[in-house]
Amino acid sequence: MDIDPAWLPPAAFRAVGGRRTLVRGAGPLVDTVRGEVAAACERFGGRMVPEEARADLVLELTGDTGDEGFACVRADGTTTVTASGGPGLLYGLFHVVRLGEDAFRGERAREEHRPAVALRMLDHWDNVAVHPVMGQVERGYAGGSLFWSDGRARGDLERVRAYGRLLAACGINAVAVNNVNVHETEARLLTDRIGEVADIAGALRPYGIRTHLSVTFAAPVVLGGLPTADPLDERVRAWWAGATARVYEAIGDFGGFVVKADSEGRPGPFAYGRTHADGANLLAAALAPHGGTVHWRAFVYDHRQDWRDRTTDRARAAYDHFVPLDGEFAANAVLQVKHGPMDFQVREPVSPLIGAMPRTRLAVEVQATQEYTGQQRHVCWLGPMWSEALRFRPDGEVSAGRLADGLVAVSNVGDDPFWTGHPLAQANLYTFGRLAWDPAADPRAVLGEWIALTRPEAPARLEAGLRAVLDGSWRTYEKYTAPLGVGFMVQPGHHYGPSVDGYEYSPWGTYHFADRDGVGVDRSAATGTGYASQYAKPWSELYESPDTCPDDLLLFFHHVPYGHVLHSGKTVIQHIYDTHFEGVEEAEEARRVWAGLTDLVDPAQHARVADRYEEQVRCAREWRDQVNSYFLRKSGVPDERGRTIH
């Protein structure tokens, strides 16, 4: 089967490819631009014109837009894109592609575009050697790894190149090529196997993408043979300096390291009585001479918690660990924070760490791979969720202030012919890139872009159909899964499908505390774990009381009786019943809409999605019935509408 062109089908280049175009400038990324235009012209009858010739489109390296920015203007029948750097020119070209014929109509006032966030990254949780439990790609739902196969880097990097091109077209500029859980084989990518990483970096470089590597904090011990990995030990510092220098010999524009330390069993600085700032700064110092960055993950918590202990609260952990270290991190260290305080649940508040460390560079991490949102067997377009998180302002104002220095998504891509397992999950990858470029963008407008690019000749019925199945799909998924922000309720281990008590008596800090009277976690300052007070006002006050807490997050912050009346006017128990029935109905309706598009979609793609809708509807019913039955059995409160609950 051919590889799906995703949002860069040949027809997307029709408008550009039919023109006379001048590309002016030199450098590898300008060559990429030139190659793109030439290919489009060959297909659609336009041509590359020489200096001084009349051109419909000029792409030139000039001006002062910053390396990644570009300006676009149309006057006198010529559309001109200028950029001061190769990446900006490439982004400018893709901007014109997105505009299509509109780019060549009438006049267009000069617009300047720059990314709001400098670091726009995808983390691949790809293992080189197949892990006995986690497989080739940890939490991967799109086949094997794009990068690794049979225990080594793929020899054929054509797909990696195609991937880089897709990422450039949505604005991504960094990729980490291996799992943050760095196992034995993968540790060696840093040293004797760096050549394999260099090959991948070479395939991504023409698209303005820098390659990053996940490394183990224990590398000086497991690779260097040192007796310690203590970040303050001179031998350790020397080892990292040397190892990093050798990385840069192989990859001159290497982006840096990603580190998961002292988390879920990974080694880290705690073993040596050092802080996470000590740990991060060790690597930052090794990278600084070369212009690299260390991404230090803030996902640190006690994963061996006693469920009997109601005072420990995993949601508090990142804030408690890291806020005291604000100001201690090096300038080229970035603290990478999950968008919510738990773990990529379908509904969480925004992490209180965001905004609480003004003197620390932060990157916000989201999960494009749908670990907790249907594993690419369910349609769940995450644009609205990410947008809500990215528009959140810690002080309650929608300010122009920076939310983060970086945005990172765990990639949802593998070697699947549709890239993402579920063809419609491509929309998540595209949306992430565009929101990383502009977190204030309207996600629905981004979805429109994706539809127009992916299906340039789509009739209105297809566009309407895609919007119908995607627009509300996150809300639909939320409706039939864990209610009101309570989270989890998934089957342990693989995290697919319902198990209401699956993580209730576990060591993972993931509880709902449902009993015959009520449900939810009291995280108030007054009577609970105090998590609510980690926020600045107004959020701390809003979340503190069930009267002001948003319905969507009620059970994240409060343990309430089943009869508690939501702002919606419904009781909690009736809300649970209603949303679960609605969620299934919405999934069934989406399946019906998709079935009606059969004449408008490539048969293989239509069949793949149709098959997955069967599974989605089956699984949604399972969620509905298990959640409703669980709460009916526990609460004894019948459904007001008398529907079947088991």
Please report whether residue 634 would count as binding a second copy according to CB under 8 A: yes
For residue 644, count other CB atoms closer than 10 A to its CB: 9
Q: Is 234 labeled as catalytic in the residue annotation?
A: no
452 to 491: interface string for a second copy, x by CB under 8 A: ---------------------------------------x
Q: Which tokens is 50 given?
A: 């020489």
Name residues contacting a second copy, limited to 253-282 (CB under 8 A): none
Which one of residues 633, 638, 640, 643 is an interface residue with a second copy (CB under 8 A)? 633
Q: Cβ 490 to a second copy, closest distance in Å?
A: 13
For residue 493, count other CB atoms closer than 10 A to its CB: 8
Our CB check for a second copy shows the closer of 516 and 641 to be 516
Which one of residues 149, 540, 605, 626 is an interface residue with a second copy (CB under 8 A)? 626
Q: How many residues bind a second copy (CB under 8 A)?
A: 26
* Pair 36, 50: CB distance under 8 Å: no
Which one of residues 184, 302, 395, 517 is an interface residue with a second copy (CB under 8 A)? 517
Our CB check for a second copy shows the closer of 44 and 307 to be 307
One of 365, 371, 552, 586 is an active-site residue; which one? 371
135-137/108-113 β-pairing? unpaired
Our CB check for a second copy shows the closer of 270 and 307 to be 307
* Pair 55, 22: CB distance under 8 Å: yes
> What is each CA distance from 104 to 20, 40, 97, in whole angstroms?
11, 16, 11
Please report whether residue 443 would count as binding a second copy according to CB under 8 A: no
Which one of residues 287, 427, 446, 514 is an interface residue with a second copy (CB under 8 A)? 514
User: Pseudo-torsion of CA 291, 297, 298, 301, nearest 10°?
Assistant: -150
Q: Is 371 labeled as catalytic in the residue annotation?
A: yes
Please report whether residue 614 would count as binding a second copy according to CB under 8 A: no
Report residue 463 CA to chain centroid gap: 24
CA dist., res. 516 & res. 459, Å (int): 52
Q: Cβ 306 to a second copy, closest distance in Å?
A: 9
Please report whether residue 54 would count as binding a second copy according to CB under 8 A: no
One of 264, 309, 442, 599 is an active-site residue; which one? 264
> What is each CA distance from 304 to 246, 309, 531, in whole angstroms?
38, 11, 19
Our CB check for a second copy shows the closer of 87 and 583 to be 583
210-214/256-259 β-pairing? parallel
- Which among 433-441, 500-508, 550-558, 608-616 is the span making contact with a second copy, rule CB under 8 A? 500-508
112: which residues sit within 8 A by CB, 6+ positions away?
A: 65, 69, 70, 71
Q: Which tokens is 104 given?
A: 């060549």
> What is each CA distance from 241 to 178, 238, 244, in whole angstroms?
21, 5, 5
Backbone φ and ψ of 162, nearest 5°: -60, -35
Backbone φ and ψ of 133, nearest 5°: -100, -45
Please report whether residue 516 would count as binding a second copy according to CB under 8 A: yes
* Pair 507, 307: CB distance under 8 Å: yes
* Pair 563, 573: CB distance under 8 Å: yes
Backbone φ and ψ of 108, nearest 5°: -135, 125
238: which residues sit within 8 A by CB, 6+ positions away?
A: none
- Which among 222-230, 350-358, 436-444, 626-634 is the span making contact with a second copy, rule CB under 8 A? 626-634
299 to 328: interface string for a second copy, x by CB under 8 A: --------xx--------------------
Please report whether residue 24 would count as binding a second copy according to CB under 8 A: no
One of 199, 230, 313, 343 is an active-site residue; which one? 343
Q: Cβ 619 to a second copy, closest distance in Å?
A: 13
Q: Is 544 labeled as catalytic in the residue annotation?
A: no
- Which among 273-281, 334-342, 409-417, 515-523 is the span making contact with a second copy, rule CB under 8 A? 515-523
Please report whether residue 505 would count as binding a second copy according to CB under 8 A: yes
Which residues carry out catalysis? 264, 343, 371
Q: Which residues bind a second copy (CB under 8 A)?
A: 307-308, 491-493, 498-502, 505, 514-517, 622, 625-626, 629-630, 632-636, 646
